[in-house]
Amino acid sequence: MNAPAAPESRVGGNGEAGAPWSRLDPGLFRLGLARSLGPMAPIAVTALVARDRLNLQTLITLGGILVTLAVITVIGLVRYATTRYRVTAERVELRSGLVFRRHRSVPRDRVRSVDLTADPLRRIFGLAAVRIGTGQNDDEKGLVLDGISRRDARLLRTELLGRTAPADSVITELRPAWVGYALLSSWSLLIGLAPFGVFFRVLDAVGVDPAEVGFLGDLWESVTATHPAVVVAVALAIVLAIGLTGTLLLYVEAWWNFRLTREPDRTFSIRRGLLTTRSVALEERRLHGVEMAEPLPLRWGRGARVKAVATGLGEDESVVLLPPAPRAEAHRVAAAVLAGDAPHTPAGLTGSAGPAANAGSSVVAAVHAGHFPPTSASPILAPLAVHPRAALRRRVFRAIWPPVAVAVLFGGLAAWLSWVPGLLWVAGPVMLPVTLLLAFDAYRNLGHGLHGPYLVTRYGTARRRTVALRRTGIIGWTISRSPFQRRAGLLTLGATTAAGGGIYKVRDVSVAEGLAFAEESVPGLLAPFVH
Amino acid sequence: MTAHPTPGHPTRPGGLRLRPPRHPVDRRAVGWWTGQALVIVAPPVLVLLLLALLIPPARFWLLLPALVIAVPGLLYTLVMPRRRYRVHRWETTDDAVYAASGWIWQKWRVAPMSRIQTVDLVRGPIQQMFGLAGVTVTTASAAGAVKINGLDRTLADDLVERLTARTQATPGDAT
- Mean residue pLDDT across chain B: 86
**Partner-chain residue, chosen from A351, A497, A523, that has the shortest CB–CB distance to B4:** A523
Q: Is residue A1 classed as helix, strand or coil in its secondary structure? A: coil
Contact (Cβ atoms closer than 8 angstroms) between residue B124 and residue B114: no
ipTM greater than 0.90: no
The model's confidence at residue A87, banded by pLDDT at 50, 70 and 90, is confident
Going by C-beta distance under 8 Å and a sequence separation of 6 or more, which residues neighbour residue A129? A116, A117, A118, A122, A144, A145, A146, A147
Which of chain A's residues have a Cβ under 8 Å away from the Cβ of B104?
A: 482-483
- Span A27-33, average pLDDT: 83
**Partner-chain residue, chosen from B18, B143, B173, that has the shortest CB–CB distance to A503:** B143
Chain A within 8 Å of B49 (Cβ-Cβ)? no
Q: HSE, CB side, 13 Å, CA atoms: give it for residue A500.
A: 27
User: Percentage of chain A with pLDDT > 70?
Assistant: 85
The whole-number pLDDT of residue B111 equals: 92
CB pairs under 8 A between A and B: 154
The whole-number pLDDT of residue A315 equals: 59
The whole-number pLDDT of residue A79 equals: 84
Is residue A22 within a helix (H) or strand (E), and if so which, with residue range? strand A22-23
Which of chain A's residues have a Cβ under 8 Å away from the Cβ of B12?
A: 516
The whole-number pLDDT of residue A432 equals: 93
- Which parts of A284-389 are beta strand (E)? 287-295, 303-310, 320-326
- Span B116-132, average pLDDT: 88
Between A140-149, A245-254, B30-39, B115-124, the lowest mean confidence (pLDDT) is in A140-149
Altogether, the residues listed in chain A come to a count of 531
pLDDT single digits (tens) B43-58 = 999 999 999 999 888 8
Whether A476 sits inside 8 A of B141 (CB atoms) is yes
Closest among B113, B168, B124 to B146, alpha carbons compared:
B113
Beta-bridge mates of residue A95: A84, A103
Which of chain A's residues have a Cβ under 8 Å away from the Cβ of B13?
A: 512-513, 516
**Partner-chain residue, chosen from B17, B93, B107, that has the shortest CB–CB distance to A531:** B17
- Span A101-127, average pLDDT: 82
pLDDT single digits (tens) A152-184 = 888 888 788 765 555 568 888 999 899 999 888
When comparing pLDDT for A1 and A258, which is higher? A258
Interface test with chain B among A496, A508, A509, A510, by most B beta carbons within 10 Å: A496
When comparing pLDDT for B14 and A236, which is higher? A236
* Strand pairing category for A91-96 and A102-107: antiparallel
Angle at alpha carbon of residue A107, lines to A102 and A111, rounded to 5°: 105
End-to-end alpha-carbon separation of chain A, Å? 63
Q: Find the residue in B nearest to A352 (Cα).
A: B172
Domains of chain A: 170-266+288-347+368-381 (no CATH), 389-529 (2.30.29)
- Whether B67 shows a pLDDT value over 70: the answer reads yes
- Span A53-77, average pLDDT: 81
How close is the nearest chain A Cα to the Cα of B23, in Å? Answer: 13
The whole-number pLDDT of residue A204 equals: 78
The whole-number pLDDT of residue A30 equals: 84
- Whether A118 shows a pLDDT value over 50: the answer reads yes
pLDDT single digits (tens) B94-105 = 889 999 999 999
Closest among B170, B155, B156 to B119, alpha carbons compared:
B156
The whole-number pLDDT of residue A201 equals: 83
Which of chain B's residues have a Cβ under 8 Å away from the Cβ of A110?
A: none
Going by C-beta distance under 8 Å and a sequence separation of 6 or more, which residues neighbour residue A9? A3, A21, A84
Beta-bridge mates of residue A444: none
The whole-number pLDDT of residue A282 equals: 84
The whole-number pLDDT of residue B56 equals: 87
- Mean residue pLDDT across chain A: 81
Between A196-205, A294-303, A506-515, the lowest mean confidence (pLDDT) is in A196-205
Question: Which B residues in the span 56-75 are in contact with A, Cβ-Cβ below 8 Å?
Answer: none
Contact (Cβ atoms closer than 8 angstroms) between residue A502 and residue A289: no
Whether B95 sits inside 8 A of A498 (CB atoms) is no
The model's confidence at residue A394, banded by pLDDT at 50, 70 and 90, is very high
- Span A343-357, average pLDDT: 35
- Which parts of A303-443 are beta strand (E)? 303-310, 320-326
Q: How many C-beta neighbours within 10 Å does residue B112 have?
A: 23
φ/ψ region of A208 (left if φ > 0, alpha if ψ in -120 to 50, else beta) reads beta
The whole-number pLDDT of residue A170 equals: 85
- Whether A386 shows a pLDDT value over 90: the answer reads yes
pLDDT single digits (tens) A443-495 = 999 999 998 899 999 999 999 999 999 999 999 999 999 999 999 999 999 99
How close is the nearest chain B Cα to the Cα of A116, in Å? Answer: 23
Whether B5 sits inside 8 A of A524 (CB atoms) is yes
Whether B173 sits inside 8 A of A475 (CB atoms) is yes
pLDDT single digits (tens) A276-327 = 888 888 888 889 999 999 999 999 999 999 999 988 776 566 789 999 999 9
The whole-number pLDDT of residue A340 equals: 63
How close is the nearest chain B Cα to the Cα of A294, in Å? Answer: 24
- Whether A86 shows a pLDDT value over 80: the answer reads yes
Alpha-carbon distance of A57 to A60, in angstroms, equals 5
Which of chain A's residues have a Cβ under 8 Å away from the Cβ of B92?
A: none
The whole-number pLDDT of residue A520 equals: 93
pTM equals: 0.75
Q: HSE, CB side, 13 Å, CA atoms: give it for residue A90.
A: 5
**Partner-chain residue, chosen from A483, A503, A524, that has the shortest CB–CB distance to B6:** A524
**Partner-chain residue, chosen from B18, B105, B174, that has the shortest CB–CB distance to A475:** B174
- Whether A91 shows a pLDDT value over 50: the answer reads yes
Distances from the Cα of A438 to the Cαs of A181, A184, A392, A434, in angstroms? 22, 18, 11, 6
The model's confidence at residue A107, banded by pLDDT at 50, 70 and 90, is confident
Closest among B56, B54, B36, B58 to B46, alpha carbons compared:
B54
Beta-bridge mates of residue A451: A454
